[in-house]
Amino acid sequence: MENRAIFSGRLLACLLVFPQLAISLIFFYWPAAQAVWQSFLVQDAFGLSTEFVWFENYVNLLKTPEYYHAIGTTFLFSLLVVFFSLAIGLLLAVMANRNIAGVQIYRTFLIVPYAVAPAVASVLFIFMFQPGLGMIARALQRNGIDWNPVLNGTHAMILIVIVSVWNQISYNFLFFLAGLQSIPKSVIEAAAIDGARPARRFWTIVFPLLSPTTFFLIVINITYAFFSTLGIIDTATEGGPNGSTSTLVYKVFLDGKAGSDLGGSAAQSVILMIIVIALTAIQFRYVEKKVHY
Amino acid sequence: MVEHRRFGNLLPHLVLIAGVIVVAFPVYLAVIASTHDNSVIANGQMPLYPGQHALETYWHTIVSGTGRTTREPVGSMLLSSFIMAVGIAAGKIAISIISAYAIVFFSFPFRMTAFWAIFITLMLPVEVRIFPTYKITSDLHMLDSYSGLILPLIASATATLLFRQFFMTVPKELVEASKMDGAGPIRFFFDTLLPLSVTNIAALFVILFIYGWNQYLWPLLITTRDDMQTIVIGIKKIIDVKDALTEWSVAMATAVLAMLPPVAVVVLLQRLFVKGLIETEK
């Protein structure tokens, strides 16, 4: 760490870091350790005795077809959400980066979804997609599509993807816009003088220069699709029908809430923790690299 | 941008207008629905212009509650959400700024250990360790209390990192000059550092307020008492009525009320918010 002009006074320093350390210890380290510990235990049906079983919970988990189903669901869901929210965010940012009239007004409108809670966003779309009364559901029905997310797994998946993408567009838009504005104009002008058309300029110069932003956003969006969408799924589909929209995080929530299988739920949490730590590590390695150049 | 094209600006306008329509339409529809009578909405014939029932709907929603369910009126949910959001924002900023201050400006044993111990909490969102965290909060008798709603969610390092980053850019000469004037660490903090950090604090406040307001999973588990429910949780109960028709006008009025504070904060403080967001994540 850089050399600062430093105060003496150890007691004061300790008092200053104490609140944050205490809260981290009680509400972060202790529960994380508990989750790991619990994932090695099996509790009998009445909760009277527990037994240490090593990796049995993990082995059982990897034997259940539902778990693989949840992995598949999470993968499909995250892929769709990340792809569409990034593509739309980028398209809008490129357009809003032009020097056109009223651009500030467009930008203001486009950041609104960021402020809307995922669960509330979900309710807005449930209303539009409610069979029989929702505007879009009725339009679909008029065109011969028997839209019903309560019964049809594909429809349910489409619904939560639309809500999640809508909710995340503004975030990606803001970061892409910031990225675009940091690209020096002279580079693009030079290419234009060389005769490169706008589309070519975009794919050969702008897009590669945006790659750090894109990579950063991919990691952030995966984390978003994994965790922050829990409110969306719980409000819109409750993981159904038939588990078709039950992602890994939602499954931890469901299994733990039912409360019958604490060890299994804890094992799932630990697997998730490992995934997040891996994602975070990738993110930091990359951030470090960027700081160097 | 560079060459002159006659229709060059038409495409961006069209794309951005389409984008704004996609983004704003669901919100617009919610506002419209909250002004119509339930029966108009229920038969699927809701027009796209406002109706006559706005005052009535909002009065029912906020103040009296609508006799059909046992839930609280939305007014008390708004209050809970507000207390939670402000509590999280203020709490997180308070503990973060003093710990960053200690880590940057003091020398004490285990300084780096403390830094890393805080830093690691960046890694795991509360969703992952949800049930053990719930258990501990319950063991501490914090269920159904604002401290239970707030404290576990302020344990994360983003704000600390941000303040640390900012404090490192404060010129050394400033600290030395302040010391020469006879200021101790406490006076330096209040007279020099805090005024310098006002913009950062404000930007963080915007982001954290929205973060707190929009929480779902944690308040869902922690609050079992109806009068402590936040509006983001409450709205699900309104649409989730078994064996009865959803009162869509009330549901949409609730959605509008749940969106209003965070959207207002973001739109009014756009500049601060954007600055803060981009600094937090990078």
Per-residue pLDDT of A142-164, as tens digits, reads: 888 888 888 888 999 999 999 99
Q: Which of B128, B215, B216 sits opposite A269 (nearest CB)?
A: B128
Residue B5 has pLDDT above 70, yes or no: no
Mean pLDDT on B235-239? 85
Residue B64 has pLDDT above 80, yes or no: no
Q: Which two tokens stand for residue B162?
A: 């941000």
User: Cis before residue B262, ω within 30 degrees of 0?
Assistant: no
Contact between chains at B265 and A115 (C-beta distance less than 8 A): yes
Mean pLDDT of chain B: 85
3-class DSSP state for residue B221?
helix
Shortest Cα–Cα distance, A37 to chain B (Å): 10
- Chain B residue closest to A280 (CA)? B123
Q: Distance (Å, rounded) from C-alpha A67 to C-alpha A273? A: 16
pLDDT of residue B281: 65
A17 lies within 8 A of chain B by CB: yes
A178 lies within 8 A of chain B by CB: yes
Dihedral sign (CA B257, B261, B262, B264): positive
Contact between chains at A276 and B270 (C-beta distance less than 8 A): no
Place of tokens 């909710």: A167
In chain B, residues with a C-beta closer than 8 Å to the C-beta of A253 are: 127, 130, 217
Mean pLDDT on B18-34? 92
Q: Distance (Å, rounded) from C-alpha A175 to C-alpha A179? A: 6
Which amino acid belongs to residue B164? R
Q: Which of the 8 DSSP states describes residue B125?
A: -
Contact between chains at A95 and B168 (C-beta distance less than 8 A): no
Q: Distance (Å, rounded) from C-alpha B47 to C-alpha B33? A: 9
- Chain A residue closest to B39 (CA)? A133
Shortest Cα–Cα distance, B249 to chain A (Å): 10
Q: Which of the 8 DSSP states describes residue B71?
A: P
Farthest-apart Cα atoms in chain A, separation: 78
Mean pLDDT on B249-267? 92
Q: Which two tokens stand for residue A8?
A: 């003496």
Chain B (209-228) residues lying within 8 Å, Cβ to Cβ, of chain A: 210, 213-217, 220
Q: How many CB atoms lie within 10 A of CB A34?
A: 18
Reference A285, options A222, A223, A215; nearest CA is A215
- Cβ A283 vs Cβ A223: under 8 Å: no
Chain A (139-168) residues lying within 8 Å, Cβ to Cβ, of chain B: 166
Shortest Cα–Cα distance, A233 to chain B (Å): 11
pLDDT of residue A292: 39
Q: Distance (Å, rounded) from C-alpha A254 to C-alpha A250? A: 6
So what's the ipTM on this one? 0.88
Shortest Cα–Cα distance, A94 to chain B (Å): 8
- Cβ A206 vs Cβ A90: under 8 Å: no
Reference B98, options B87, B86, B106, B88; nearest CA is B106
Those residues whose C-beta lies under 8 Å from the C-beta of residue B38, and which sit 6 or more positions away, are B245, B247, B248, B249, B250
Q: What are A52's strand-pairing partners?
A: A41
Chain B (15-74) residues lying within 8 Å, Cβ to Cβ, of chain A: 15-17, 19-20, 22-24, 26-27, 29-30, 33, 41-44, 46
Q: Which of the 8 DSSP states describes residue B60?
A: I
Chain B (124-183) residues lying within 8 Å, Cβ to Cβ, of chain A: 124-125, 127-133, 135-137, 140, 151-152, 154-156, 160, 168, 172, 175-176, 179
B1 lies within 8 A of chain A by CB: yes
Contact between chains at B121 and A28 (C-beta distance less than 8 A): yes
- Chain B residue closest to A281 (CA)? B123
3-class DSSP state for residue A183?
coil
Burial B152-189 (b: 16+ CB within 10 A, else e): bbbbbbbbbbbbbebbeebeeeebeebeeeebebeebb
pTM here is 0.90
Q: Which of A108, A119, A252 sits opposite B270 (nearest CB)?
A: A108
Q: What are B196's strand-pairing partners?
A: none
Query: Mind listing the pLDDT tens digit for each residue in B111-123?
Result: 888 888 888 887 7
Query: Mind listing the pLDDT tens digit for each residue in B104-150?
Result: 988 888 888 888 888 888 777 777 788 888 888 988 988 888 888 89
Q: Which two tokens stand for residue A215?
A: 């990579």
Chain A (39-58) residues lying within 8 Å, Cβ to Cβ, of chain B: none
Place of tokens 């965010």: A89
Reference B148, options B206, B207, B80; nearest CA is B80
